[in-house]
Structures are given as structure tokens and as C-alpha cells.
Amino acid sequence: MTKIKYSSQLAGLVAGLTLLASSAFAADWQQTNLQFLHGNEYKRTNGNTYSKTMLTVEHASGWTYGSNFFFFDISSPDTDDNTTFYGEISPAISGAKTGLFTPPESFVKDILWQLNFELPQGPSKRVNLTGVTIEWKDIGMDYFATQFLYRDAQGVSGSTGQLTLVWKKTFGPESFPMEFSGFIDWAGKESTVMDNLQAQPGVYWDLNRKTAQKIPVKMGVEYLYWKNKYGIDGLTESLAQAKLTWIF
């Protein structure tokens, strides 16, 4: 009953956030997608490996003065014992949209005040982050951004910093459009939580970009590397994940 109640609350939260982001902030643009992932060789805190399926709801939108981004994961939703939840909410205020920053002719597209809230269930700590996102242009990518963040894990003394890289590059002919995208997070040591590095690059066949026989689907393979997973010294995860994304 507790798990069913938690799932219902999570579904309600996702629906509410999507509605808020898309309507209350008068979105200039928005995209929501549903992701299905599966992989083997995930690591538990004791070092044992296991397989899992993950369902992710992801939303991104832009509004008058900034942008919104959030996602929520449900891991192993088809099991009773191993189902876990994880989410992040990331609003940002744009320097260019508010008039506080005038972009130069090249390289820097925008500078944003970034907030991020990590909402885990399990051994991870709830984390609040704030800092700066720099969005770049004219460097051969569809999207590239760097984030410099102050990181504060709840229930842990002290604080630390986090560096994040996010990118997207589309390529290939119209008949076979491809995408290379992903992110890298590095978080410093915070009390007993060790510094950790997480990277998730992926290559996808993007049927949503086709003009003929267009299908709102992307499919491909994502590589997951997580050194010192959950900030646990020596716990490293490295595996390939099959990924299917439905865009709506």
C-alpha cells in the first residue's frame, strides 16, 4: 500500500509540474518525453550487480524570463522489492531574456542563474544546488552548456562544488538522422560523501527529425559511468543501457 501511495503521489507531482511549467509560466516552447531504459551490471551499495528497467518522465520548456527542466525516474517499476524513485527540478533565470546580460557576437549565447534540486529515494542524499549556467554557441554543437554550482547535501556537514557539462549534436542525412548527446557531472567531496563523477553519453537514431514518415521516437544506446556512486568510495558503475524515447 505504501508503494502504491508513493507512486500515486509521484504521478500527481509530475502531472502538476508539467501543467505548471507549460501553462502558468506561458511557455514559449516545451517538450515532454517518456523514456524506457534497460541495462545490466548496475551496482548496489554492497557492490553486487543487478539488472533493471527504468521509466523516466522528462520535461523542458522556455518562458519569458528563463527555462524549466525536470525529470523523474522510476526504477524497476515491475517489481515489489526493488522499485525506487529519483527526480530533479531545475529552473533557471536567463540573463539575456531579462536584459541583465547582452550576448556578444560569438561564443557565449546566454548566462543563467541556475537552481537545481535533487530528490532521491534510497542511499543518496537530498541535494540543493545553485550557481551559473553558461550556454555556448558557434562551437559546432546544437547545444552546449557548462554549469558551475554550489552543492549542499542535506544531512551532511559542509558543502562543495559541482561542475556539469551538457551537450547535444545532431548529424546524419534526413533519411537516417542521428544524435549524440549527454552530460557529465563532477561533484566534490562533502564530509563523508566522496567526490564522484557521473557521465551518460548516448548515440540515438532520431526518427522525430525525419520530414517523411516522421515518428516521435528516438532509440539508441547510452553509456553510464559513475565513479564513487552515491559518494561511496570505490563503488564504480559502468555499463551500456538500451534507451527508447517517446516524444509528445
The residues near 137 (Cβ < 8 Å, ≥ 6 apart) are 106, 107, 108, 109
What pLDDT, on a 0 to 100 scale, did the predictor assign at position 15? 57
Cβ contact 54:42 at 8 Å: no
Q: Give the β-pairing of 49-63 and 29-43.
A: antiparallel
Helix, strand or coil for residue 17?
helix
pLDDT digits (tens, 9 = 90+) for 89-117: 999 999 999 999 998 888 999 999 999 99
Spatial separation of the C-alpha atoms in residues 212 and 235, rounded to whole Å: 46
How many CB atoms are located within 10 Å of the residue 206 CB? 21
Sign (positive/negative) of CA torsion 177, 217, 164, 132? positive
Whether the predicted model's global pTM rises above the 0.85 cut: yes
CATH 2.40.230.20 fits 2-247, yes or no: yes
Tens digit of each residue's pLDDT (9 = 90 or more) over 168-206 = 999 999 889 999 999 999 999 999 999 999 999 999 999
Give residue 119's identity as a one-letter amino acid code.
Answer: L
Where are the domains positioned within the chain? 2-247
